[in-house]
Chains A and B, each alone.
Chain A
Amino acid sequence: MKISRKILLIGSLSVVIVLLAVMSGQWAKRNVQALETQQASKLSPIIMVPGSNASQNRFNQLVTELNQTSQEQHSLLRVLVHKDNSLSYSGAIRANDNEPIIVIGFQDNKDGFNNIQHQAGWFNHAMQALMVRYRFKNVKIVGHSNGGLISTYALEHTLKSRDLHIKKLMTIAAPYNLNDANSHGETAMLRSLVTYRTRIPRDLTVYSVAGSQNFNTDGLVPLYSVLAGRYVYQGQVRHFTELTVTGSQSEHSKLPQNSQIIQLIKNFIVDED
């Protein structure tokens, strides 16, 4: 009787320990895996946003030239966001590429403040999907023309995630005051961007690059409209730098292929190491 009781005790203890060990072992393995992915999320893509009337292929040449002049080879993924929020992908992120370039284009890429707001929503949707898919936690953003406005509007309104850290933003020829050349007149969009500027993360570093064919325009966007970005960012983010690129290929639509600008992206946006 006594012996059997001891056996019962040892037996039931062993069963409990083994049962708990099997379950907690699975938990432990999942936990370690989660921690490893978290640590491994050194993945820090450069997100590029094209302007109005430009497709997700807008930056192909930029990426090619960037890779030609650097040792790091950035893989290129293009994402097209349809009006119904569905995504189509082309290109791919190479397995061990910690800094791929992801271009987010929009099916509806028309101009206008109204559509910029829609695009900022689609942009956020694509970002959320990409974060789940590729498990990155920080990004750099480059926006050309209206792409810069979409990024700015998204920072203020739609791109809300505690898990996402935006390290740097570069807007290239972004018309913060649309096509209004008058430095005193404010469009409704600029007013809105300035009103909500306090929602922009304070630890952001921002570069606003303007192109200039003559002293006041890049041929499409007035220089003053680009410089109006200072009313949005200056004093709100940690660093705000304005640059003006002149010389050959400084026409608005040529700016993404401008070698000066590629050099700026390499120096200011691409991670060091």
Chain B
Amino acid sequence: MIKKADNLNMFIAMLIKLRQTEFFKLVKPTLISIFPFVLLGSFCQMIRLNLFTSNGFLVSVLGLQHWALTNRGIDELMLSLTKLINATTVVMAAFLVAKKYTQVHHCESRLSGGTAALSLLFLAAHYTDDEFRFYGLILTTQGLTWAMILGFAVGIGFRFLGRPARRAKLKPGDVVEEAMSEVLPIAMIVIIIVLLKIGMGQLNFASIGTHLTGQVQQLIANSHFKVIWLLLMGVFSQLAEFLGFSGNLWNNIDQSTQIINLNAALSKHSALHVPNSENFHNLFVIFGNVGGQGMLLSLVVLILLVGKHKNLRNLSRLSLLPAFFNLDGPIMVGFPILYLSTYLIPFVFAPVVNMMLAWIVLALHLIPAPVYPIPAGTPGILMAFISTGGDWGTLIFSLVCFGTSMLVYYPFLKLEEQLLDEFHMGTPLAEVNQHEN
């Protein structure tokens, strides 16, 4: 019993230590600054997917296809707005972290933020055929962690290359001298970024991904313990998402078995017995996400039900609607899940617990396999229901998964509240509000 308490204390101590690191201190004000933008981006995306996309959820379900709004032009307009809001958010994050770093270290520079923004855009862009193309991943909220790390690194560059000693000697009128003192760090950083980009160009990420996927497919096909591999893939996907890589690395790995399943279900008029009910799509993509990515909706609902902190509750209220439609941006940035936090463990394991439950009920043929296609932007809680052709038992099972995830998140919510109460070491938005109370 004592040992258990010790372990818990060690865990708390570790979390506190992490939150005292310089990086986290810089991240805090940055995340607060960008939160409204992230919220705006999520609402735009939600509205687009549900009202303007011709195969979107509400459009399909309410039969709005012939409505004037589901128009390709407007859809593309909204998509471009959403993507630009996300891109601007990420560029701003890099800018703000770099700026703040130079402020904290008294080597304040007019251009540290601008250089961080330039570096990020340069890494994300690709100029070809007389036009710019951007690697989507870097400029989405998924790339936020990396953008902030980049901003941090640029800040360090300015601190050590900016010759603050020389600048300190400058007289108030030496405008040209002052401006020129920034040339060296900017040039050096640009050179480093160019080298980094050349290095990145050497790695063919797409072929590595294809190769990895092929290997994994083979491994699973030959394995006697298929479900173990599937669970490990779930863990890996969640960790990747948490670290800011694309978590849906393997979401299309089952395309061919999905078609076999679909055809079998269509010709038998039932999805109860399909050849490959035990696959990554069924277990992870559907049941691992019945509360959105990482089952975050269950955390939101949990906080609204039993959360003691007004600020966490306010955050949850704002995030509820986007989270219902699987848009986790506000939670990822606001709580923040995105950055190392108390919620790493439940974020990874709540979906994995669901995968195990789903494996059992599918193996026992208690529910049909989720084989039918679903509209874009279908809320997680309804995904399984719709992709089983509207099986009510499956909806009930989805709710059971949802409740289980709330139980998985509960101890970690309590831990976070303890950190807030006893150590004032909460997550950015929550803690700032704490002081105001």
**Residues on A close to B: CB < 8 A?**
6, 9-10, 13, 16-17, 20-21, 23-29, 31-32, 35-36, 39-40
Give the most central of B267, B269, B389: most A CB within 10 Å.
B389
Q: What's the minimum C-beta distance from B285 to chain A, rounded to whole angstroms? A: 17
A35-B372, A36-B269 given as contacts; is B385 within 8 A of A21 (CB)?
yes
**B91 in contact (CB, < 8 A):** no
**B379 in contact (CB, < 8 A):** yes
Complex Cα spacing A181 to B227, Å: 74
CB pair B385 A28 closer than 8 Å: yes
CB pair B305 A39 closer than 8 Å: no
Residues on the B chain within 8 Å of A9, using CB: 301, 304-305
**Residues on B close to A: CB < 8 A?**
57, 60-63, 262-263, 266-267, 269, 301, 304-305, 324, 372-373, 375, 378-379, 381-382, 385-390, 392, 395
* A to B CB contacts below 8 Å, 30 in the list: A6-B304, A9-B301, A9-B304, A10-B305, A21-B392, A21-B395, A24-B57, A24-B61, A24-B382, A24-B385, A24-B386, A24-B390, A25-B386, A25-B390, A26-B390, A27-B60, A27-B61, A27-B63, A27-B375, A28-B372, A28-B386, A28-B387, A31-B372, A31-B373, A32-B390, A35-B373, A36-B269, A39-B263, A39-B266, A39-B267
Complex Cα spacing A176 to B389, Å: 52
Complex Cα spacing A40 to B269, Å: 11
Residues on the A chain within 8 Å of B62, using CB: 23
Q: Which residue of B lies closest to A35 (CB)?
A: B266
Residues on the B chain within 8 Å of A16, using CB: 324
Q: Which residue of A lies closest to B372 (CB)?
A: A32
Q: Which residue of B lies closest to A24 (CB)?
A: B61
CB pair B382 A32 closer than 8 Å: no
Q: What's the minimum C-beta distance from B288 to chain A, rounded to whole angstroms? A: 19
Other than the known A21-B382, A29-B390, what 9 A-B pairs have Cβ atoms closer than 8 Å?
A: A17-B382, A20-B382, A21-B392, A23-B61, A24-B382, A28-B387, A28-B388, A31-B373, A36-B269
CB pair A20 B379 closer than 8 Å: yes
Complex Cα spacing A27 to B387, Å: 11
Complex Cα spacing A40 to B112, Å: 64
Q: What's the minimum C-beta distance from A31 to chain B, rounded to whole angstroms? A: 6
Q: What's the minimum C-beta distance from B309 to chain A, rounded to whole angstroms? A: 14
CB pair A32 B389 closer than 8 Å: yes
Residues on the B chain within 8 Å of A21, using CB: 382, 385, 392, 395
Residues on the B chain within 8 Å of A35, using CB: 262, 266, 372-373
Give the most central of A24, A29, A31: most B CB within 10 Å.
A24
Partner of B385 from the list A25, A32, A39 (CB cut-off 8 Å) is A25
CB pair B61 A20 closer than 8 Å: yes
CB pair A36 B305 closer than 8 Å: no
Complex Cα spacing A13 to B378, Å: 16
Residues on the B chain within 8 Å of A20, using CB: 61, 379, 382
Residues on the A chain within 8 Å of B392, using CB: 21, 25
Residues on the A chain within 8 Å of B57, using CB: 24
Complex Cα spacing A36 to B324, Å: 30
Residues on the A chain within 8 Å of B381, using CB: 17
Q: Which residue of A lies closest to B374 (CB)?
A: A28
